Amino acid sequence: MALNKTRLDRFLAQYCQISRKHVRLMLAQNRVQINGVVAHHIDEIIDNFSHVMLDGEIIQANTAHYIMLNKPIGVVSATRDTQHKTVLDLLEYPFKNELHIVGRLDLNTSGLVLLTNDSRWSERLTLPEHKVIKRYIVSLENKLDESYVAAFAEGMYFGFEDITTKPAKLTIINDYQAEVELIEGRYHQIKRMFGRFRNPVTALHRCAIGNLQLDSELALSASRSLTALEVKNITQISMLDQ
């Protein structure tokens, strides 16, 4: 859901089909509450997740939802697909059709997928300028060496899109495994970056987005709602802060 912001007087005038002068009167009579607090100012800004009551009745109560899913291989990061099970098929929430995916994973990538109906939050997580890191564990067919670290940090030119990838951090775990941190999500980015070394990726798993780690006890295909603190803190760590 796109986040629409509007002034309170405009919202009430439209909702009640009354003049803005009439809205002032309503506010003076303490008839309106926003998020549980009596509203007094016509220019208070509300959005589509503000809880609005008039004369004790709820007139708007859209809830923001934030879900963590442990995506298995073979499930497509889409809301609809004719061939494969989708991440939405794995959810059982009554509001699931309102949700969109915050940064897709390939069909054969597993791990952390976030879903929300709050587009402002998802934009903060996905736009590269916000520098929110996505952390992956990568398994490879051939041995790694230190030259990969510099190449990932420097960035690689992708001719098809005519872009150079933003600096990425590669940490060698062992001869055949690395942790990779990206702040962007180009098409098949990690596989293409290892492709430069002619080193096929045999397994790819996203374990964290920003400050939020995939729960180690969350079973494959299982999901849960994020806590308010997780929603707020997810963008606290960026690669530049480290």
- Taking CB under 6 A as the criterion, which residues in 194-233 touch ligand URA? 204
Alpha carbon distance 28, 12 (integer Å): 14
Evaluate whether 126 touches 102 at the Cβ level (below 8 Å): yes
Q: Is 116 helix (H, G, I), strand (E, B) or coil?
A: strand
Closest CB to ligand URA among 12 and 75?
A: 75
Stretch that binds ligand URA, among 89-97, 141-149, 186-194, 211-219 (CB under 6 A): 186-194
- Taking CB under 6 A as the criterion, which residues in 91-110 touch ligand URA? 105-106, 109
Q: Per the residue annotation, which of 47, 81, 89, 106 is the catalytic one?
A: 106
Alpha carbon distance 90, 221 (integer Å): 6
Closest CB to ligand URA among 96 and 111?
A: 111
Determine phi and psi for 56, rounding to 5 degrees: 80, 0
Closest CB to ligand URA among 88 and 101?
A: 101
Q: Is 66 helix (H, G, I), strand (E, B) or coil?
A: strand
Alpha carbon distance 35, 206 (integer Å): 36
Q: Is 30 helix (H, G, I), strand (E, B) or coil?
A: coil
- Least distance CB 90 / ligand URA (angstroms): 17
- Least distance CB 189 / ligand URA (angstroms): 4
Closest CB to ligand URA among 90 and 190?
A: 190
106 in active site: yes
Among 168, 190, 208, 212, binds ligand URA (CB under 6 A): 190
What's at 31, amino acid-wise? R
Q: Is 68 helix (H, G, I), strand (E, B) or coil?
A: strand
- In the complex, which residues of this chain contact ligand URA (CB under 6 A)? 105-106, 109, 188-191, 204
Active site residues: 106
